[in-house]
Protein backbone atom coordinates (compact mmCIF):
# COMPACT_ATOMS: atom_id res chain seq x y z
CA UNK A 1 0.00 0.00 0.00
CA UNK A 2 2.88 2.33 0.82
CA UNK A 3 4.42 1.69 -2.59
CA UNK A 4 1.15 2.57 -4.33
CA UNK A 5 0.88 5.74 -2.30
CA UNK A 6 4.42 6.73 -3.24
CA UNK A 7 3.69 6.09 -6.94
CA UNK A 8 0.55 8.23 -6.77
CA UNK A 9 2.44 11.02 -5.05
CA UNK A 10 5.16 10.91 -7.69
CA UNK A 11 2.54 11.02 -10.45
CA UNK A 12 1.02 14.14 -8.89
CA UNK A 13 4.45 15.75 -8.63
CA UNK A 14 5.20 15.04 -12.30
CA UNK A 15 1.86 16.50 -13.37
CA UNK A 16 2.47 19.61 -11.30
CA UNK A 17 5.94 20.07 -12.77
CA UNK A 18 4.64 19.57 -16.31
CA UNK A 19 1.85 22.09 -15.74
CA UNK A 20 4.32 24.60 -14.32
CA UNK A 21 6.58 24.19 -17.34
CA UNK A 22 3.68 24.67 -19.75
CA UNK A 23 2.56 27.82 -17.94
CA UNK A 24 6.11 29.13 -17.97
CA UNK A 25 6.38 28.41 -21.69
CA UNK A 26 3.18 30.34 -22.41
CA UNK A 27 4.31 33.25 -20.25
CA UNK A 28 7.72 33.46 -21.92
CA UNK A 29 6.16 33.15 -25.36
CA UNK A 30 3.79 36.01 -24.53
CA UNK A 31 6.63 38.18 -23.28
CA UNK A 32 8.66 37.52 -26.43
CA UNK A 33 5.69 38.39 -28.63
CA UNK A 34 5.04 41.62 -26.69
CA UNK A 35 8.66 42.70 -26.92
CA UNK A 36 8.74 42.11 -30.65
CA UNK A 37 5.51 44.03 -31.16
CA UNK A 38 7.00 46.99 -29.29
CA UNK A 39 10.30 46.84 -31.15
CA UNK A 40 8.80 46.25 -34.59
CA UNK A 41 8.30 49.40 -36.72
CA UNK A 42 4.87 50.28 -38.03
CA UNK A 43 5.97 49.47 -41.61
CA UNK A 44 6.72 45.78 -40.87
CA UNK A 45 6.24 43.41 -43.73
CA UNK A 46 4.24 40.22 -43.97
CA UNK A 47 7.47 38.25 -44.18
CA UNK A 48 8.61 39.48 -40.75
CA UNK A 49 5.27 38.53 -39.25
CA UNK A 50 5.51 35.03 -40.68
CA UNK A 51 9.08 34.64 -39.38
CA UNK A 52 8.01 35.69 -35.88
CA UNK A 53 5.13 33.24 -35.95
CA UNK A 54 7.45 30.36 -36.88
CA UNK A 55 9.92 31.28 -34.13
CA UNK A 56 7.13 31.42 -31.56
CA UNK A 57 5.88 28.01 -32.66
CA UNK A 58 9.38 26.55 -32.33
CA UNK A 59 9.74 28.00 -28.82
CA UNK A 60 6.37 26.64 -27.74
CA UNK A 61 7.22 23.22 -29.19
CA UNK A 62 10.53 23.15 -27.31
CA UNK A 63 8.86 23.91 -23.98
CA UNK A 64 6.16 21.32 -24.67
CA UNK A 65 8.82 18.68 -25.36
CA UNK A 66 10.61 19.59 -22.14
CA UNK A 67 7.37 19.21 -20.20
CA UNK A 68 6.69 15.82 -21.81
CA UNK A 69 10.18 14.58 -20.97
CA UNK A 70 9.80 15.71 -17.37
CA UNK A 71 6.44 13.97 -17.09
CA UNK A 72 7.65 10.64 -18.48
CA UNK A 73 11.08 10.52 -16.82
CA UNK A 74 11.55 8.12 -13.93
CA UNK A 75 13.27 9.50 -10.86
CA UNK A 76 16.00 7.38 -9.27
CA UNK A 77 15.70 7.12 -5.52
CA UNK A 78 18.68 6.20 -3.36
CA UNK A 79 18.03 3.90 -0.47
CA UNK A 80 20.84 5.53 1.50
CA UNK A 81 22.89 8.71 1.24
CA UNK A 82 26.15 6.74 1.59
CA UNK A 83 27.31 3.33 2.79
CA UNK A 84 29.85 2.79 5.57
CA UNK A 85 33.15 1.71 4.02
CA UNK A 86 36.47 0.44 5.33
CA UNK A 87 39.34 2.90 4.86
CA UNK A 88 41.92 1.05 6.96
CA UNK A 89 44.38 0.45 4.13
CA UNK A 90 44.78 4.12 3.24
CA UNK A 91 44.40 5.53 6.75
CA UNK A 92 46.43 2.97 8.72
CA UNK A 93 48.52 0.73 6.45
CA UNK A 94 49.74 3.18 3.80
CA UNK A 95 51.40 5.69 6.20
CA UNK A 96 53.42 2.84 7.74
CA UNK A 97 54.67 1.30 4.50
CA UNK A 98 58.40 1.37 4.00
CA UNK A 99 59.99 3.00 0.97
CA UNK A 100 60.28 -0.29 -0.93
CA UNK A 101 56.68 -1.36 -0.31
CA UNK A 102 55.38 2.12 -1.07
CA UNK A 103 57.20 2.17 -4.40
CA UNK A 104 55.87 -1.29 -5.18
CA UNK A 105 52.31 -0.08 -4.58
CA UNK A 106 52.50 3.24 -6.49
CA UNK A 107 55.60 2.82 -8.73
CA UNK A 108 57.07 6.06 -7.31
CA UNK A 109 58.93 7.06 -4.17
CA UNK A 110 57.22 8.78 -1.26
CA UNK A 111 59.02 12.00 -2.18
CA UNK A 112 57.61 11.91 -5.72
CA UNK A 113 54.16 11.11 -4.35
CA UNK A 114 54.23 14.14 -2.03
CA UNK A 115 55.46 16.30 -4.91
CA UNK A 116 52.48 15.28 -7.02
CA UNK A 117 50.08 15.90 -4.16
CA UNK A 118 51.34 19.45 -3.61
CA UNK A 119 51.47 20.15 -7.36
CA UNK A 120 47.87 19.04 -7.91
CA UNK A 121 46.42 20.27 -4.60
CA UNK A 122 45.16 23.62 -6.03
CA UNK A 123 43.01 21.68 -8.50
CA UNK A 124 42.05 18.59 -6.50
CA UNK A 125 41.45 20.03 -3.01
CA UNK A 126 37.79 20.22 -1.99
CA UNK A 127 36.11 21.92 0.97
CA UNK A 128 34.25 20.13 3.75
CA UNK A 129 30.50 20.73 3.88
CA UNK A 130 27.78 20.22 6.45
CA UNK A 131 26.72 17.10 4.53
CA UNK A 132 30.04 15.24 4.50
CA UNK A 133 33.79 15.57 4.83
CA UNK A 134 35.68 16.12 1.58
CA UNK A 135 38.05 13.49 0.20
CA UNK A 136 41.59 14.74 0.78
CA UNK A 137 43.97 15.62 -2.03
CA UNK A 138 46.33 12.89 -0.77
CA UNK A 139 43.68 10.22 -1.22
CA UNK A 140 42.65 11.58 -4.62
CA UNK A 141 46.24 11.40 -5.87
CA UNK A 142 46.66 7.92 -4.36
CA UNK A 143 43.53 6.67 -6.14
CA UNK A 144 44.64 8.13 -9.46
CA UNK A 145 48.17 6.76 -9.24
CA UNK A 146 47.02 3.33 -8.08
CA UNK A 147 44.69 3.15 -11.07
CA UNK A 148 47.50 4.11 -13.45
CA UNK A 149 50.09 1.68 -12.10
CA UNK A 150 47.86 -1.40 -11.79
CA UNK A 151 45.30 -3.38 -13.74
CA UNK A 152 42.80 -3.19 -10.89
CA UNK A 153 39.16 -2.49 -11.72
CA UNK A 154 37.28 0.47 -10.29
CA UNK A 155 35.50 -1.91 -7.94
CA UNK A 156 38.77 -3.22 -6.51
CA UNK A 157 40.22 0.27 -6.04
CA UNK A 158 36.95 1.38 -4.45
CA UNK A 159 37.13 -1.37 -1.83
CA UNK A 160 40.81 -0.66 -1.18
CA UNK A 161 40.31 3.06 -0.54
CA UNK A 162 36.87 2.85 1.04
CA UNK A 163 35.06 4.79 -1.71
CA UNK A 164 32.22 4.18 -4.12
CA UNK A 165 32.98 2.80 -7.58
CA UNK A 166 31.60 5.85 -9.38
CA UNK A 167 33.60 8.09 -7.02
CA UNK A 168 36.81 6.29 -7.97
CA UNK A 169 36.05 6.73 -11.66
CA UNK A 170 35.37 10.45 -11.21
CA UNK A 171 38.47 11.04 -9.07
CA UNK A 172 40.68 9.23 -11.58
CA UNK A 173 39.53 11.48 -14.41
CA UNK A 174 39.97 14.58 -12.26
CA UNK A 175 43.48 13.46 -11.29
CA UNK A 176 44.54 12.95 -14.91
CA UNK A 177 43.21 16.38 -15.88
CA UNK A 178 45.00 17.95 -12.90
CA UNK A 179 48.33 16.37 -13.86
CA UNK A 180 47.97 17.62 -17.43
CA UNK A 181 47.03 21.10 -16.27
CA UNK A 182 49.66 21.52 -13.57
CA UNK A 183 52.63 19.40 -14.72
CA UNK A 184 52.50 18.95 -18.49
CA UNK A 185 54.28 22.19 -19.36
CA UNK A 186 57.01 21.48 -16.82
CA UNK A 187 57.80 17.89 -17.76
CA UNK A 188 56.72 17.36 -21.38
CA UNK A 189 59.27 19.54 -23.13
CA UNK A 190 62.54 19.29 -25.00
CA UNK A 191 65.63 19.22 -22.80
CA UNK A 192 67.86 22.25 -23.15
CA UNK A 193 71.55 21.79 -23.92
CA UNK A 194 72.70 22.94 -20.48
CA UNK A 195 70.41 20.39 -18.74
CA UNK A 196 71.35 17.37 -20.86
CA UNK A 197 74.16 16.14 -18.61
CA UNK A 198 71.92 16.21 -15.53
CA UNK A 199 69.14 14.38 -17.38
CA UNK A 200 71.57 11.70 -18.57
CA UNK A 201 72.74 11.03 -15.01
CA UNK A 202 69.22 11.04 -13.56
CA UNK A 203 67.76 8.74 -16.21
CA UNK A 204 70.61 6.26 -15.76
CA UNK A 205 70.22 6.33 -11.97
CA UNK A 206 66.48 5.58 -12.22
CA UNK A 207 66.31 3.09 -15.12
CA UNK A 208 69.84 1.80 -15.65
CA UNK A 209 69.80 2.83 -19.33
CA UNK A 210 72.93 4.84 -20.26
CA UNK A 211 73.17 7.72 -22.76
CA UNK A 212 69.40 8.40 -22.62
CA UNK A 213 67.63 11.70 -21.99
CA UNK A 214 64.09 10.37 -21.58
CA UNK A 215 61.40 8.02 -22.83
CA UNK A 216 58.32 9.01 -24.83
CA UNK A 217 56.77 5.57 -25.34
CA UNK A 218 57.44 1.90 -24.87
CA UNK A 219 57.72 -1.18 -27.05
CA UNK A 220 55.32 -4.09 -26.65
CA UNK A 221 56.74 -7.62 -26.46
CA UNK A 222 54.41 -10.65 -26.53
CA UNK A 223 55.00 -13.05 -23.65
CA UNK A 224 53.48 -16.22 -22.27
CA UNK A 225 52.23 -15.17 -18.83
CA UNK A 226 51.84 -17.64 -16.00
CA UNK A 227 48.40 -19.14 -15.68
CA UNK A 228 48.07 -17.84 -12.15
CA UNK A 229 47.30 -14.10 -12.09
CA UNK A 230 47.60 -13.87 -15.88
CA UNK A 231 45.45 -10.72 -15.91
CA UNK A 232 48.25 -8.85 -14.13
CA UNK A 233 50.31 -9.07 -17.32
CA UNK A 234 47.62 -7.62 -19.60
CA UNK A 235 48.29 -4.04 -20.72
CA UNK A 236 46.06 -1.35 -22.20
CA UNK A 237 47.13 -2.12 -25.78
CA UNK A 238 45.79 -5.65 -25.60
CA UNK A 239 49.05 -7.54 -25.11
SS3 of 115-160: the string is HHHHHHHHHHCCCCCCCCCCCCHHHHHHHHHHHHCCCCCHHHHHHH
Reported as a single tens digit per residue, the pLDDT across 68-85 is 666 555 556 666 556 566
Reported as a single tens digit per residue, the pLDDT across 193-207 is 888 999 899 989 988
pTM to 2 decimal places:
0.55
CB of 233 within 8 A of CB of 222?
A: no
Rounded to whole angstroms, the Cα distance separating 117 from 19 reads 50
Amino acid sequence: MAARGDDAAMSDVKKAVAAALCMRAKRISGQIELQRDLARPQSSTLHESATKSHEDQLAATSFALAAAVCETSNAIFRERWSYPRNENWFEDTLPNLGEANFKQAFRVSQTTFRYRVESCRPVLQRQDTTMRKAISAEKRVAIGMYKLCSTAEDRTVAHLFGQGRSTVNTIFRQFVRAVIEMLEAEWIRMVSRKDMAAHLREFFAVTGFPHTLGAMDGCQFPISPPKEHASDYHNYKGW
